[in-house]
Amino acid sequence: MTRKLLIVGAAFAALSLAACGPKADETKGAATPAEQAATPDANPAATVPTPSDETKAATFVAKAAATDMYEVEASKVAAKRSTNAEVKKFAMMMEKAHTKTTADLKAAIAASGAMITPPTALPADLQDKLDDLNKSSDGDFDKTYADDQVDVHQAALNLMQRYAQDGDTAAIKAFAAATAPAVQEHLNMAEGLKNGFDKAK
């Protein structure tokens, strides 16, 4: 009987020691604060765009914003100078559409968290195009405007489609994908205007 009690007592003692001691798996699995900081998944900043992503996004933003600025300014010129009802109607539509696109682009930049500021002035090539439009004679104005609209919208469509496919900043990439169909529609309308003037020659 005494022997049985000793065996039972020894078993309890062994179990108590095992319960008090740290388990190998628990100590192995616990990460120190330094280890957690070194782990990318534990770092919330990992979701913020990297500098290279922002550079790519900044290039896209600069071109997209410049296109919108040009469209708004060219449309204002067309609304004043054109005597063609279809051109005037198209110009008013473009001014409204590209004012909205500018607001949508700014919202996408804010949502992305990227530190990007859209340009406030036209680049030289689009400023030259706008200057040429202003200088065009009354007889050539509508055709010049229609030709420019085809060129600028084709370039804008290429820009949107490229960034929608290859862009690295999610919110801006989503903007490009959502905007491309509208730009395609504008391009189709501009081509219709241009073809009408070409046939009238």
Quote the pLDDT of residue 51. Answer: 54
Q: Which of 73, 188, 60 is nearest to 128 (CA)?
A: 73
Quote the pLDDT of residue 198. Answer: 76
More confident: 9 or 153: 153
CB contact at 8 A, 150 and 187:
yes
Identity of the residue numbered 49: P
**What tens digit of pLDDT does each residue of 73-129 get?**
999 999 999 999 999 999 999 999 999 999 999 999 999 999 999 999 999 999 999
Quote the pLDDT of residue 45. Answer: 41
Fold (CATH) for 50-200: Ferritin (1.20.1260)
**What tens digit of pLDDT does each residue of 128-140 get?**
999 999 999 999 9
Kindly write down the DSSP assignment for every residue of 101-132, as one continuous string.
HHHHHHHHHHHHT------SS--HHHHHHHHH
Three-class SS state of 99: helix
Quote the pLDDT of residue 52. Answer: 58
Q: Which tokens is 72 given?
A: 């708004």
| Residues whose CB is less than 8 angstroms from the CB of residue 28 and which lie 6 or more positions away in sequence, other chains included | none
Name residue, tokens 């229609």. 146
pTM for this one?
A: 0.73
Q: Where are the domains of the chain?
A: 2-42, 50-200
